[in-house]
Amino acid sequence: MVPKSIAVESPTADEIFEACKELEMAPVLEATKKMPSATWEKPGRVLINKKDKKLKLLREISLVLQRKRALRKKT
């Protein structure tokens, strides 16, 4: 679980994809994928090559997303 202090509310697949690219995780965006039980939600998933523990990767991605959103708010 990502700590609330670095969590980002409702990140899109595109945002996650861009964060993973910045972290050089070689991401693959599958923009049309959906969870069958949640067809009303925005589609998309991002696949990466797992180079570390899942929690560490999630924290790294979350920090990048948080920074990018903060920059977007300033402009």
Q: Say if 25 falls within a structural domain.
A: yes
pLDDT at 7 over 80: yes
Q: CB 61: neighbour CB atoms within 10 A?
A: 24
The token pair that represents 69 in the structure block: 């959103």
Q: Say if 1 falls within a structural domain.
A: no
- Domain hosting 24: range is 13-74
Q: Say if 7 falls within a structural domain.
A: no
Per residue in 45-75, pLDDT tens? 999 998 899 999 999 999 999 999 999 888 7
How many domains does the chain divide into? 1
Per residue in 16-30, pLDDT tens? 999 999 999 999 999
At 74 the three-state DSSP class reads: helix
Q: What CATH number is given to the structural domain containing 42?
A: 3.30.56.30
Which strand (E) or helix (H) includes residue 47? strand 45-47
